Amino acid sequence: MRVTKYFFLALGLLVTLVAALPTPFDNSIDLLVARTRTAAKKQQTEFKKIKKQLDQRLSPPRDKAVFWSGRVGSESAKDHAAKYGKKTGKQTLEMAVKKAGIKMPAFNEPNGGLWKHASKLWAERSKGKTTAILGDMRPQNTYNKIEKPALAKNKKVTTHTEHRM
């Protein structure tokens, strides 16, 4: 037990000493900032490209739009919605994005804006009958916050059916 404690103490001291050594770049912070700005600019350019693709290619066929939100047990309602879509010839947003050849980033906080934009377009451009597959939803979910209000305002949607799982 003592060996472990002393080992970690020595390791911590070594890490501190290495971190305190001078760097080969006097402007290492400037270099880091420049790299960060370059990466952010590249990401922004990529996001603009994806947004343009969404704006041009994303439009659900009449009576084919499927929405989803939440979890059904240990599974995402997304899986249930995709199965429903395949069985009935309908499409979820994710299915349509893939079919349109749009390479979306993973859904997480930095990329959430793109997915929210896509969700809003999917709801605003829906026509005819639409369907939602809903599980246990978290507060402030995309369906209740963005998609459902857009569907309610969309005069081209004639019927919207929610299936609670």
User: In this structure, how many other beta carbons lie within 10 angstroms of the beta carbon of residue 128?
Assistant: 14
- Pair 86, 109 in one domain: yes
What confidence tens digit (pLDDT) does each residue in 68-89 have? Answer: 999 999 999 999 999 999 999 9
What confidence tens digit (pLDDT) does each residue in 92-144 have? Answer: 999 999 999 999 988 876 767 899 999 999 999 999 999 999 999 999 899 99
Last residue of a domain, one of 57, 77, 100: 57
Domain range for 26 is 1-57
Residue with tokens 């059904």: 72
- Pair 79, 158 in one domain: yes
Q: What one-letter code names the amino acid at 18?
A: V
Is the pTM above the cut of 0.85? no
- Pair 31, 97 in one domain: no
Rounded distance, CA 41 to CA 142, Å?
A: 27
- Pair 148, 77 in one domain: yes
